[in-house]
């Protein structure tokens, strides 16, 4: 992974109303080009608020947010920032603007004044990338939630962004829809080098990321690779978070007196260790 900094957040604080408590409290964060960053934290910990700061939907009370060196406070840069930082929201229905798939994919491009011939080209390739080719004329109420989310992703890809933020974008989907959306995103992350920030309550999904950040009360309280973060399951429980399946399994095993190394945090690793454990007996 290259260590080129894509987003720099410095001492960012924000509150929704003058007399409200801080929703973000001196957050500093760097996002590197090409990485998959997971943000976890229980309800109301400030994850969505942070995400909205990253594309200038809301502006910092204090501190700065830089995207590729562009400041979100800079009114001339804001549209370019929003083009570079795409965002997929939780509810598939409430972000579908067009009356058909192609209208929805075109919406962002229309806003950015891309001319029509270019739009047609980009639309075709974007729909292909999310495996939705051939649905151009489909209406939203004839699409599943997962399909709608993939159309939303296509609309963002068409703008050739450098980063896509998923704000619990898979939480309202069935397992199949979730799988489809995540595999499309992983593909984009790997082949197109698109940076992904995934806000999620699904710790199994977070376990597959490059880096995890945990938030509480508007602050970043934990940060590191999944391996580092899941090394301290007690800490996660303290934060009101669930644990990935493999970690729970590991704990249950050690309670039964079966010693498994604290390194195993993915299902495969656990299986691998258990297998070896058995063979040495």
Partner 1 sequence: MKLIIGQFVPGDSIIHRMDPRAKLITVFIFVFIVFLANNPWTYGFLLAFTVLGILVSKVPFSFIYRGLKPVLFIIIFTFILNALFTRQGDVLISAGWFQLTTAGLKQAIFISIRLLAIIVVTTLLTLTTSPIAITDGLETLLKPLKKWRFPVHEFALMMSIALRFIPTLMEETEKIMKAQMARGVDFSSGSLVKRGKAIIPLLVPLFVGAFKRAEDLAMAMEARGYRGDVGRTKFRLLKWHGRDTGLLSVLAVLTAALILMRG
Q: Give the angle 169-170-176 at the CA atoms, nearest 5°.
A: 150
User: Using CB under 6 A, which of 6, 12, 23, 182 touches ligand ATP?
Assistant: 23
Query: Residue count at the site for Mg ion (CB under 5 A)?
Result: 1
- Among Mg ion, ligand ATP, partner 1, none, the one that 150 touches (CB under a kind-dependent 5 to 8 A) is none
The CA distance from 110 to 24, in Å, is 33
Considering the rule CB under 5 A, would residue 48 count as an interface residue with Mg ion? Answer: yes
Task: Indicate the helix (H) or strand (E) that contains 209.
Answer: none
State the minimum distance, in angstroms, from the CB of residue 108 to partner 1: 4
Distance between first and last Cα of the chain = 40
- Range in contact with partner 1 (rule: CB under 8 A) among 155-163, 207-215, 233-241, 262-270: 155-163
Query: How would you classify the pairing of strands 85-88 and 70-71?
Result: unpaired
Considering the rule CB under 5 A, would residue 49 count as an interface residue with Mg ion? Answer: no
- Residue whose CB is less far from ligand ATP, 139 or 238: 238
Considering the rule CB under 6 A, would residue 60 count as an interface residue with ligand ATP? Answer: no
The CA distance from 128 to 126, in Å, is 5
Residues linked to residue 13 through DSSP beta bridges, in sequence order: 62
User: Using CB under 6 A, which of 16, 28, 116, 121 touches ligand ATP?
Assistant: 16
Considering the rule CB under 8 A, would residue 87 count as an interface residue with partner 1? Answer: yes
x/- contact string, 156-195, with partner 1 (CB under 8 A)? x--x------------------------------------
Structure-token pair, residue 151: 């159309």
Task: Indicate the helix (H) or strand (E) that contains 52.
Answer: helix 47-54
């Amino acid at each position: 992974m290259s260590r080129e900094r894509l987003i720099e957040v410095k001492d960012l604080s924000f509150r929704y109303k003058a007399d409200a408590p801080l929703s973000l409290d001196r957050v500093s964060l760097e996002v590197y080009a090409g990485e998959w960053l997971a943000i976890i934290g229980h309800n109301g910990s400030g994850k969505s608020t942070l995400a909205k700061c990253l594309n200038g939907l809301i502006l910092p009370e204090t501190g700065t947010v830089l995207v590729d060196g562009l400041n979100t406070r800079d009114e001339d840069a804001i549209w370019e920032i929003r083009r570079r930082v795409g965002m997929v929201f939780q509810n598939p229905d409430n972000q579908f603007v067009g009356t058909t798939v192609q209208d929805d994919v075109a919406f962002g491009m229309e806003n950015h004044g891309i001319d029509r011939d270019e739009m047609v080209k980009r639309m075709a390739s974007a729909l292909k990338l999310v495996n939705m080719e051939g649905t151009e004329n489909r209406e939203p109420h004839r699409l599943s939630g997962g399909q709608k989310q993939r159309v939303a992703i296509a609309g963002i890809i068409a703008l050739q962004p450098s980063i896509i933020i998923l704000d619990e974008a898979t939480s309202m989907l069935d397992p199949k829809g979730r799988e489809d959306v995540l595999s499309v995103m992983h593909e984009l992350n790997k082949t197109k080098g698109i940076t992904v920030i995934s806000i999620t309550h699904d710790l199994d999904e977070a376990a597959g990321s490059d880096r995890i950040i945990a938030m509480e009360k508007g602050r970043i309280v934990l940060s590191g690779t999944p391996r580092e973060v899941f090394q301290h399951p007690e800490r996660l429980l303290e934060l009101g978070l669930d644990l990935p399946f493999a970690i729970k399994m590991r704990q249950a095993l050690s309670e039964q007196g079966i010693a498994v190394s604290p390194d195993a945090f993915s299902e495969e690793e656990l299986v691998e260790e258990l297998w070896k454990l058995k063979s040495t007996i």
